[in-house]
């Protein structure tokens, strides 16, 4: 808790740190002049001539309590996403002169379990807020009817939208290099989550946003509404995710079965399958048929693959889509697989070549031409590798629908 003292340095007010605690801000011409707290049914106002102190105090309280009078700080622009119990708008901050994304959650649709889910989502967002792989929370506001979660704005589109646009363009397919970029960035993000004790549980193209337009190295994981901590006694949601991307053990599990990080790996494998084949891993004419194939893990590995796929990719794909979660590869091991080592050096099936951001130095070679010691890019210390140059919003809040009947 924070202790607010009067001029005589005697303890007078206590502000309890929790999401339901609210602090208001007094502003004048886009400048902080003071703040407001509630004591019983009364408001207590505090003023300062030093705006910089108030700015630091506001930053200190951000995401620990809720602020109100959101419209004093943000001009709301167009809607950029919509979910079951929320919508996302683009907004302009009057104080920082920057655009942000604000997720607006309707309080009238929330039940007690949903409030607990929201608090857990915010707790997870706070844990990953400094990561380049995850959506970054800035602050939280609330009014009588809604919560407002202010996030860093991602200027690109979702991977789902990108893939849909690709299908609409004649003969335009993802190259081997692009698939590798997507999967490397995705697995790096998942590996980070697992390293800090978080399972996402709803990884799918809709929940992967490009931080920059057409830049796969900026892919960002969003929507942590179904996420959970690995070390937890009881899940808020047991059977959750998106049919077509959810791990079969989630759909088949008994109520109190412990879940592991490997469910995220299966979801990543479903995305990998779609990138390689251009098709969804599970297909059904009806929702029930789709769900049945997903639960039974009925996967057609004989489906025609794109011409730029290779055996290293297929081997990794199989290891990610194993039905038994204990037999699945981990994110860390996947990043160390031959697919990323070999393909990051040579994209022999691409018509054009480019240098990879992972590899800018030439490694040691054995007598066998083209065989590379398995070293990470950070260990490459010899000559520079030169390769011919290539020519070359979707937020969905799951607060009310742990199992969603949507299939990308």
CB neighbour burial string for 370-401, b if at least 16 within 10 angstroms, e if fewer: eebeeeebeebeeeeeeeeeeeebbbbbbbbb
- The one catalytic residue among 202, 206, 223, 264: 202
Distance CA 109, CA 126 (A): 24
Residue 369 DSSP SS3: coil
Are 349 and 285 within 8 A, CB to CB? no
Report the DSSP beta bridge partners of residue 221: 134, 208
Nearest to 211 by CA among 99, 135, 124: 135
| Helices (H), ranges, 72-222 | 112-127, 159-167, 176-195
Chain centre to alpha carbon of residue 339:
24
- Answer left, alpha or beta for residue 279, where phi above 0 means left and psi between -120 and 50 means alpha: beta
Alpha-carbon Rg for the chain in angstroms? 24
- The 8 Å CB, 24+ separation contacts for 276-283 are 276/179, 276/305, 276/306, 276/309, 276/313, 276/314, 276/317, 277/303, 277/304, 277/305, 277/306, 278/167, 278/173, 278/306, 279/303, 280/244, 280/407, 280/408, 281/244, 281/321, 282/243, 282/244, 282/407
202 is catalytic: yes
Distances (CA, A) of 148 to 57, 80, 93, 145, 224: 20, 15, 14, 10, 15
SS3 at position 142: strand
Closest Cα partner for 134 from 221, 227, 226, 261?
Answer: 221
In the annotated binding site for ATP, the residues are 103
Going by C-beta distance under 8 Å and a sequence separation of 6 or more, which residues neighbour residue 272? 179, 183, 313, 316, 317, 320
Catalytic sites, residue numbers: 202
């Amino acid at each position: 808790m924070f202790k607010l003292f009067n001029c005589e340095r005697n303890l007078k007010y206590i502000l309890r740190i929790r999401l339901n605690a609210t602090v208001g801000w007094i502003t004048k011409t886009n400048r902080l002049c003071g703040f407001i707290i509630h004591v019983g049914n009364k408001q207590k106002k505090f003023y300062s001539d030093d705006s910089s102190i108030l700015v630091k105090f506001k930053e200190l309280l951000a995401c620990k309590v809720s602020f109100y009078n959101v419209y004093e700080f943000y001009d709301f622009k167009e809607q950029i996403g919509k979910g079951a119990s929320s919508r996302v708008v683009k907004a302009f901050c009057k104080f920082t002169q920057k655009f942000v994304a604000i997720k607006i959650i309707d309080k009238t649709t929330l039940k007690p379990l949903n409030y607990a889910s929201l608090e857990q989502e915010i707790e997870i967002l706070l844990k990953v807020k400094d990561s380049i792989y995850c959506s970054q929370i800035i602050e939280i506001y609330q009014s009588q009817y809604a919560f407002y979660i202010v996030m860093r704005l991602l200027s690109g589109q979702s991977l789902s939208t990108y893939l849909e646009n690709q299908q609409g363009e004649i003969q335009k397919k993802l190259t081997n290099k692009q698939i590798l970029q997507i999967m490397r960035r995705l697995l790096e993000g998942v590996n980070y989550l697992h390293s800090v004790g978080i399972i996402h549980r709803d990884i799918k193209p809709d929940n992967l946003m490009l931080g920059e337009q057409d830049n796969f190295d900026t892919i960002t994981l969003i929507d942590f509404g179904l996420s959970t901590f690995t070390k937890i006694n009881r899940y808020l949601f047991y059977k959750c995710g998106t049919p077509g991307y959810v791990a079969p053990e989630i759909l088949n599990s008994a109520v109190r079965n412990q879940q592991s990080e490997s469910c995220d790996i299966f979801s990543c494998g479903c995305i990998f399958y779609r990138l390689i084949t251009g098709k969804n891993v599970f297909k059904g004419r009806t929702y029930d048929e789709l769900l049945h194939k997903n639960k039974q893990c009925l996967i057609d590995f004989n489906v025609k693959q794109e011409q730029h796929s290779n055996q290293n990719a297929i081997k990794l794909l199989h290891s990610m889509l194993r039905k038994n979660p204990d037999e699945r590869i981990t994110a860390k091991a996947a990043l160390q697989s031959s697919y990323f080592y070999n393909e990051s050096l040579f994209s022999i099936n691409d018509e054009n070549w480019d240098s990879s951001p992972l590899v800018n130095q030439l490694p040691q070679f054995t007598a066998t031409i083209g065989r590379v010691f398995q070293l990470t890019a950070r260990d490459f210390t010899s000559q520079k590798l030169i390769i011919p140059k290539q020519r070359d919003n979707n937020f969905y809040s799951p607060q009310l629908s742990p199992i969603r009947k949507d299939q990308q």
